[in-house]
Each structure stands twice: as C-alpha cells, then as structure tokens.
Amino acid sequence: MKLSDGVEAAIHCAAVLAQLNGEATLPGSALAELHGLSPSYLLKHLQALTAAKILESIPGPNGGYRLAKAPERISLLDIVLAVEGHQPAFRCGEIRQRGPGALEAEAYVKPCGIKVAMLKAERAWRAVLAETKLSQIVSGYEADADPRAVAFNCAFIARHQRPQGETSLKKSK
C-alpha cells in the first residue's frame, strides 16, 4: 500500500499549524514555501483538511490557515482520511470468480482469504493512526529533531504567522 505524497504534506502542515500562537494563521503560500511544494498542489490538500474540519481557512489580507481544534483532538487517521478518503486501501475485485476456472457465484460463499487478511491489516494500521495524535507528533519533533531545524521552523513561523487580533482592531477603528 502506498499513501499519496499529499498525506505527508498534510501531516507536516498540520504539525506546523499546531505551533501557531493563539488565533494566528499562516498563509498557504508560506506553508508551501516551507515544505518546498507548489502552492497549487498544497492548496488542494489544505482545502481537503478544511472540508474535514481539521483546519480553518480564514479569509482576508491577514487570513490563512489554522487548526480547527486542539492538536490532541486530531489523529493522524483524521488527516489520512481527509486526504485519501474513507475507502479501504485494498478493494477486492473478486478476481477468483473470473477466468477459465471460475465457478458459479454460489461456490463462493466464504469471503476471499486475501480480502480478509488485507482488511485485517488495514484495521490494524488505521487503529495505530487513530491513536496517534498530532500533539504527539509535534512534541516528538520538538524533543528529537536537530535543534537547528527546530529553531528554523520557529523563526519561520514567527515571521509568517498573521495574528488575528490585528484584523478586528483595524476594523473597529
């Protein structure tokens, strides 16, 4: 099984957004720059995360993206399903019922053993992703990553985040 590159990008972006201050946002273009991705490619995945209510998209000149809920409430499975969809990775086409040796449909009353094994494996990896929270990924990164990488990411976020308090203050004046 191979998950799309969009899953990796989505998890990395969510981890970065988990580090924003308060109600601040980060523009999609900054997330694309940080990860060396095409903005149009990344936008598709950010929109999927927004549709799944993992991210919020804030419009306007000080807009951007932020998490829609606390990182402790976002699992890696939530992100994978937002990007890849809810269909199982393995889809049994019942090829055992085709070809020259195929029997009548009534001969296949038991589920295909391959399908059973593959769906069991899928349940196992989904369970691990469901119990792994975004907050664990962020704290693991902060504890284990090279301090230079952590410092760069912190400085990048500080430079590009857009505090939302400024927007409401400007409008009320």
Query: Pick from 169, 158, 173, 172: which is nearest to 24 by CA?
Result: 158
Note the pLDDT tens digit of each residue in 8-61: 999 999 999 999 998 999 999 999 999 999 999 999 999 999 999 999 999 988
Residue 68 φ/ψ, nearest 5 degrees: -85, -15
Residue 8 to residue 35: CA distance in whole angstroms: 10
User: Domain limits of the chain?
Assistant: 5-172
Q: Are 42 and 28 within 8 A, CB to CB?
A: yes
CATH T-level topology, domain 5-172:
Arc Repressor Mutant, subunit A (1.10.10)
Instruction: Tell whether the torsion through CA atoms of 75, 80, 81 and 83 is positive or negative.
Output: positive
Classify each residue of 31-70 as buried b or exposed e, where b means 16 or more C-beta atoms within 10 Å of its C-beta.
bbebeebeeeebeebbebbeebebbbbbeeebbbbbbbee
What gap in Å lies between CA 50 and CA 44, rounded to an integer? 10
In whole angstroms, give the CA distance from residue 34 to residue 36.
Answer: 6
Mean of per-residue pLDDT scores for the chain: 92
pLDDT tens digits, 117-143: 999 999 999 999 999 999 999 999 999
What pLDDT is stored for residue 1 in this prediction?
66
